[in-house]
Each structure stands twice: as structure tokens, then as C-alpha cells.
Amino acid sequence: MMIQCLSSMLRLNREMLANNHLTEDTFLKYAMRMYDNPTCKNVQEFEEDLNRVKYVKRLLNKYKEKGILRGRLLLNHTITLTNVFTPTGAARILFYKLENSLHPSLKSVFIFLESTPEMLPEVNLNQIPHDVKLLKLLGEER
């Protein structure tokens, strides 16, 4: 029964989701549509993966406000998101959910991971500067 409910929610036009800005109404549908985790057994696992967005946000806020970087943890959460939502899907979700003030740091994480999408409907990546200091710190943690 739950699978039928999820499958009916996912019957969305892929073009509509790919080209339109995310909104509160379309966010969860988009996340569910982009979610590709063959080992996922239930909705709770999906929610746990989606909660990684909050963890990335906390880690970037801590870096921005206090200068404390937990780089490996930040990279691990971001890599997991790109693995289960695709790099473009994860980028759209993160840029939508995180405040504009965190966008330069977020862009730098994607640059470091070499998975920066070419275009996102939510933001113009070319107009967002990258955080040189963060890129350097991430490189030092290798």
C-alpha cells in the first residue's frame, strides 16, 4: 500500500521537475523523484538520507560562524547525497535548502568533489563566488 502511494506521488513530469525552480510544494516530490537508493527498504531510510541536508547546513554554518571545519564529515554527507540523489539532484536540493550566505562554501564543496553541475534553475552558479579558504582546507585534509 505504501509503495503504491509513493509511486503515485512520483508520477510527475521529469521535464517539469528538471527545469522549474523548486518550491515548498515541489521540493519533496523532486527529492523523491531523484532518490535512487537500491538498498532503501522504507520511507525512514529516505528521510534519513534527506536529513543529511540539515547536517551539511549545520557543518557549513559552524565553519562560517566559528571557523570550525569538519571537512571529512562535510564531504561524506555531501558525497552520500550525490550518490542517492545524483550530483545535480543533490546540488539543487542543497542550494534550495541552504541560505544564500552559505552558497559560496557549498559551491566550493562541489568544486572540490569535481561534481559542480553546469546549470541549476535555483541559482546562477557563475555569479556565486567560491570560498578559496575552504577549498584550501579541504585539500589539506586529504
pLDDT of residue 118: 86
Q: Provide the whole-model pTM.
A: 0.85
Q: Are 77 and 55 in contact (CB under 8 A)?
A: yes
Residue 119: pLDDT band (50, 70, 90) is confident
Please give the share of the chain, as a percent, with pLDDT higher than 90: 69
Domain enclosing residue 72, as ranges: 2-140
In angstroms, the CA 101 to CA 63 distance is 12
pLDDT digits (tens, 9 = 90+) for 20-66: 789 998 999 999 999 988 888 889 999 999 999 999 999 999 999 99
Q: What is the mean pLDDT of residues 91-112?
A: 97
| pLDDT exceeds cutoff 70 at 3 | no
| pLDDT exceeds cutoff 70 at 4 | no
Count of the separate structural domains present in the chain = 1
pLDDT of residue 103: 97
Other CB atoms within 10 Å distance of the CB of residue 87 = 18
Q: Could you tell me which of 65, 31, 62 has the C-alpha nearest to residue 47?
A: 31
How many angstroms from the chain centroid is the CA of residue 38? 19
Residue 7: pLDDT band (50, 70, 90) is very low
pLDDT of residue 142: 66
Residue 125: pLDDT band (50, 70, 90) is very high
Q: What is the mean pLDDT of residues 70-90?
A: 96
